Amino acid sequence: MFDYETLKLIWWGLIGFLFIGFAITDGMDMGVGGLLPFVAKKDAESRVVINTVGAHWDGNQVWLITAGASLFAAWPLVYATAFSGFYFAMMLTLFSLFLRPLAFDYRSKIESVQWRSNWDKALFVGSMVPPLVFGVAFGNLLQGVPFGFDELMRVTYTGSFFGLFTPFTLLTGVVCVAMVLMHGSTWLVMRTDEDIAQRSVNIGRIVAIVLAITFALAGVLVWQSIDGYVVTSAVDTMGQSQPTSKEVIIVAGAWLHNFERYPLLWLIPVSGVILPLLVALLLNNKSNSVVPKVFAFIASSITIACVILTAGIAMFPFVMPSSSQPNHSLLMWDTVSSEGTLSLMLAVVVFFVPIILAYTLWCYKKMWRTVTLDEIEQNNHSAY
């Protein structure tokens, strides 16, 4: 149906789509979990906040599983190298993610203030650690990861866990945390009322402005001080995986080359700066109309897509550049699975993804309502 080169491009786009889907859906409920200690001042208010995402959080997390499985099947070398290089960071993320289902399921099992408070703290940690780690990981990809392959294609990572944290990667971590907090606040403004919604507005405006500033600052640093990577040899876009058979050099400002080559692409990072400011303007709990609230959520979702797309376009065709052995950098052209594997996976995706999207939208529609404090106080036996 498609030739090998086209399949590689399609899967680059599909994996990006899955990560954007994860960031928008699961990022929303992670943002809600991160806001929990700040927008809920008593147990009943905490239950209101949790009930806005209680029916959806586990389904949202499937996006991460799907993205990870697709990465494993389509880009096996990237999957293996990333888990080798970011092993402790990945384990930290997984253990923090373990806290979320436990907090959701066990929080309301015992009517104890201390018990519930501790699970609220666990939910906060489980919601904030993953976006911080993912943001730091993206920053490391832009800086380059110290890895290389031997003659048997065994990967060796020469960095350290604490070496992952630099001023730039911490900045990208802040970008990611601010992004999910903004997204969570737009969700709470739509799904709650009165005091919780107003606190969400106040915090949402602040983190939206922080996101615009930090994302712009990260862009300036990429332009001024973060060296990019350029392939100087011919690349066989139709060939099988051969990640060590190319020549790569490190060049200042190289991550901007794709934007300079196609100026229209500048609209994406510019939107990533402007849209959070629009979210800050649209966030309003005093209006009786739901329209500005919905538009704030949509603008927040598009912001997330723009931030991720900016990084993906800047690095294209690199997926995981190597700072220690640039010639061993992983490209989307030379790290993919076989043509047959990509074709089979594409057929599965084309069939199942529309079904999943339709079912997800149906669930959100059927369970849509404003969760009020009166409803929660009158229903002490709800799941959350």
Highest mean pLDDT among 55-64, 72-81, 262-271, 354-363: 262-271
Model pLDDT, residue 267: 97
Model pLDDT, residue 381: 64
Backbone angles phi, psi at 39, to 5 degrees: -105, -15
For residue 189, pLDDT over 70 is answered with yes
Q: Give 290's pLDDT tier (boundaries 50, 70, 90).
A: confident
How confident is the model over 367-382, as pLDDT tens digits? 888 888 888 888 776 6
- Rounded Cα–Cα distance for residues 204 and 221 (Å): 25
Q: Tell me the average pLDDT across 233-245.
A: 83
Model pLDDT, residue 327: 93
Model pLDDT, residue 2: 87
Model pLDDT, residue 353: 85
How confident is the model over 323-375, as pLDDT tens digits? 999 999 999 998 889 999 999 999 998 898 888 888 888 988 888 888 888 88
Q: Which of 42, 98, 72, 63 is nearest to 308 (CA)?
A: 63
Q: Give 287's pLDDT tier (boundaries 50, 70, 90).
A: low
- Rounded Cα–Cα distance for residues 67 and 22 (Å): 8
Model pLDDT, residue 119: 95
Q: Tell me the average pLDDT across 209-228.
A: 95
How confident is the model over 148-182, as pLDDT tens digits? 998 888 888 888 888 889 999 999 999 999 999 99
Residues 6+ apart with CB under 8 A from 117: none
For residue 316, pLDDT over 90 is answered with yes
Model pLDDT, residue 274: 97
CA distances from 314 to 80, 146, 251 (A): 23, 19, 13
Residues 6+ apart with CB under 8 A from 217: 171
Per cent of the chain over pLDDT 90 is 67
Model pLDDT, residue 109: 87
Arithmetic mean of pLDDT over the chain: 91
How many Cα atoms occupy the beta-carbon half-sphere of 76 within 13 Å?
A: 10
What the block records as the tokens of 14 is: 């599909």
CA distances from 80 to 19, 161, 322 (A): 18, 17, 14
Q: Tell me the average pLDDT across 304-333.
A: 95
Phi-psi region of 194 (alpha: psi -120 to 50; beta: other; left: phi over 0): left
Alpha helices in 75-193 (DSSP H): 76-85, 87-106, 113-143, 167-191
Residue 325, number of CB atoms within 10 A of its CB = 15
Q: Give 239's pLDDT tier (boundaries 50, 70, 90).
A: confident
For residue 383, pLDDT over 70 is answered with no
